[in-house]
Structure 1
Amino acid sequence: MLKRLVGRKLLMKELEEKEQLAVQHDEQVTILPTIVMENGRVRCFRCGHSLKKYAQQELLVGRLRYYCRFCLRMGKIDEDSVLYHQPNERTTLREVACVWQGQLTIFQQRLAQHLVINYKKQQDSLVHAVTGAGKTEMLYPLIIEVVNQGGTICLAAPRTDVCIELYKRIEPLFTCAICLIHGNSEKPFDMPPIVICTTHQLLRYYQAFDCIVLDEVDAFPFQGNPSLSYAVEQALKIDGQKVLLTATPSQEQLQQVKQNKLLKEELFLRYHGRPLPVPKLVYCSCNLNSRQKIPKTLHRLLLTQLSGARRTLIFVPTIEIGKQLMVRLRHAFPSVKIANVSSIDEERHRKVEEMRQETVDWLITTTILERGVTFANIDVIVFGAHHRIYKTSSLVQIAGRVGRKSEFPNGVVYFLHEGQSRAMKQCRKQIIKMNQIGVALQDELSKL
């Protein structure tokens, strides 16, 4: 058995020299095509992209051959190359334990049980839950069910940072091997029972997982990316199940619920029972002009934060605005410890950890931290909340950074804007509605 090939589809050059020799004589190895033609349509078997004549063809040795430029960074494939695969068969029953010491609420237990039941019934699930509802903890019974029945489960998310945070939480809790895979990580040699990876990494898998849990399916770059949706379907076993997690389901997902393709599970109450913070909309000039001054409204608000010793997460719409704002804030507030992070910051993990350890007072960030991270006892300011980068789902997630810890369930969210956008209004509307449903759940609980 070639362990590196189990559940994966890899090119010959992705294998080590010894494996390249062995693959030609191993009867368990399956050869898969790289370029396929279906109903007159040519597409890449690895990433699912359609290939156009001439545009995705090159002249080699006197003839035109299709190749895929969309997944070129994973290794070039053309009509003359093949992918090697080895099936990931179920193992014998395992006895893996979860050593988490926490306790699910009644509503969390109910949802967690439904996920296990849906999995056993071979039904896909959509979990629509508020930020801070404890979605990760509600997955633990499902993980145990899949793994102990000899299966393999994948927890996938669009962003590397979210996967890293998820791995830190999951890895110490289960008594089995768990691997983390993203663009900068080492690729595993074999297939452990639990895999945590970015959705891009699923492009390397084929009929590998009995269950795939997709966290934050509304997030970039998964949302609206057909190739990543294709990767999920390819990575799932024929009889495998999906679990989609989101605080803001798409119309397409809700339509699948109506068609009974997805079973919807809802929880609009945070695990500690307190409501979601409703954003305060504050008009503010968000133009950082050349006078090196901070907009007055923002300056007054930060003075209030400083006098109250409130640690603050400050969201900005662009990397450049983040850089400019940090310079001005450090000049205006020299006693405050301020840091700035973005997707291109190689030290962002260190700075995020410093914020978590409370050695940073104010952290300026792009949408890279809109989800998947938890800080205790913070407020949030969104500078330029009207900017087109902020969709409704993004603003809901940003507001959900506040009050996540049971020890500090309160906090304030400010949307600083130059005009209320539709996304801002929809965000407030959704949060208010979810809080109303949450209150009804609290009333139900009090009657038990």
Structure 2
Amino acid sequence: MSSCSELLLWDKQHARGANAHVFAWNGKLTPLQQKASEELLSSVERNESHLIHAVCGAGKTELLFPAIFASLQAGKRVCVAAPRTDVILELFPRFQKVFPNTTIHALYGGAPDQHGFAELVLATTHQLYRFERAFDVVFVDEADAFPYYADETLQQAVTKAANPDAAIHYVTATPTKSLKTTNQSVLTRRYHGHNLPVPRFDSLWGYTRKLKKGKIPPKLEAWINKKVEMKTPFLIFLPTIEMLENFPSDLPRVHAEHPYRKELVMQLREKKIPGLLTTTILERGITIENVHVAVVGAEQPIFTSSALIQISGRVGRSVQYPEGDIVFFHHGISREMDKAQDAIEGWNRA
């Protein structure tokens, strides 16, 4: 969109969908998930804001299904928003399977044209600039993610897109203080019941200097070679795009502006490539079975404790592979690294 884009505001009766909605999910919630799901549904029915505060991999998306279905059946229009395109791309096929008779649109930068009246809209928060008083129920997934938490105009866009009396509900593993609401559900365990993998710290002294000379530090190279040899998919998070682009390796790499990010993530999921180099753009919203993770330069400011918790949350999400390696390579341990490790260990003790 630009300043010359034409926006139309419909001021007549609110449009309504005509589909007979079907709920085609046959999964089973754990007792913790069931409790949280019922609490959320109750808040949605009372039109009161609710926060789902759950560890990475707790099955947060599944908790939304009953509340969304009840809203659709009541003739309400629903929006699930998230700051990152990757989250929307991950959610869209899942929602299509669960609600096969519902018209669903996925809106993000570069999305194809979609026709019909969408009763359920999955959208990046940027796309909500397009809407005003359009949704009866709004869920914001990963509401602590950049740029949403740091951009008041995006927060205002979400509020503007909702009906004036509509409550907004939030879902995240690392909520900011501003997201805390009276109605909260806390999930301390993943859906499969196993502990969260705890990140380990490993020194990588002078890694910046070595990489600038076109050399991979031996410890990091050994880690990569072991994953390739074991055919274990992996992600390596780097602190800057410059370091990402100049990394001395043939490994594919992605960042926020990469034109084939979606395709490369899919190739990793299908094990067509051994691993990916990435910035924090993939810190959340993607699930890859049995993926192992390394953070290079974990002490750098870009890697806040919440970012490191989310990155660690990529590991061990599958019931078949509930464990995995998550290593913070560093040139000195930061307070944020300690906070992330302590938080994950705290969840495991809860």
* TM value normalised by structure 1: 0.74
- Structure with greater proportional strand content: 1
What's the counterpart of residue 185 of structure 1? Answer: 111
In 1, Cα distance between equivalents of 2:59 and 2:159: 26
SS state at 1:419 partner: coil
Displacement of 1:91 after TM fit? 4.2
Deviation per residue, 1:63-86 (Å, 9 max, x gap): xxxxxxxxxx43349xxx996333
Change (3 A) 1:92 1:290: closer
Contact 2:200 2:328 in 1 (8 A): yes
The letter of the residue matching 1:223 is Y
In 2, Cα distance between equivalents of 1:396 and 1:408: 19
Unaligned runs of 5+ in 1: 1-72, 331-337, 438-448
Displacement of 1:309 after TM fit? 3.6
Matched, 1:373 2:293: no
In 2, Cα distance between equivalents of 1:146 and 1:140: 10
Matched, 1:302 2:228: no
Contact 1:284 1:418 in 2 (8 A): yes
Which one scores higher on RCO, CA 8 angstroms, separation ≥ 6? 2
What's the counterpart of residue 173 of structure 2? Answer: 247
Residue 348 of structure 1, aligned match among 237, 256, 261: 261
In 2, Cα distance between equivalents of 1:113 and 1:87: 34
In 2, Cα distance between equivalents of 1:308 and 1:270: 26
- Equivalences, count: 347
What's the counterpart of residue 121 of structure 2? Answer: 195
Deviation per residue, 1:170-192 (Å, 9 max, x gap): 11221211011122124555532
Deviation per residue, 1:188-247 (Å, 9 max, x gap): 555321001110111111111111110101111101211011111111112212110111
Change (3 A) 1:365 1:87: farther
Unaligned runs of 5+ in 2: none
RMSD over aligned Cα atoms: 2.0
SS state at 1:196 partner: strand
What's the counterpart of residue 195 of structure 2? Answer: 275
Residue 72 of structure 2, aligned match among 147, 161, 170: 147
The letter of the residue matching 1:200 is H
SS state at 1:237 partner: coil
In 2, Cα distance between equivalents of 1:298 and 1:189: 48
The structure 1 segments of at least 4 consecutive aligned residues displaced by more than 6 Å after TM superposition are: none
In 2, Cα distance between equivalents of 1:290 and 1:157: 35
Contact 2:17 2:118 in 1 (8 A): no
The letter of the residue matching 1:430 is A
Change (3 A) 1:226 1:351: same
Matched, 1:214 2:127: no
SS state at 1:360 partner: coil
Residue 265 of structure 1, aligned match among 173, 181, 185: 185
Displacement of 1:329 after TM fit? 3.1
Residue 214 of structure 2, aligned match among 263, 278, 292: 292
Contact 1:130 1:267 in 2 (8 A): yes
Structure showing greater radius of gyration is 1
What's the counterpart of residue 63 of structure 2? Answer: 138
In 1, Cα distance between equivalents of 2:19 and 2:63: 21
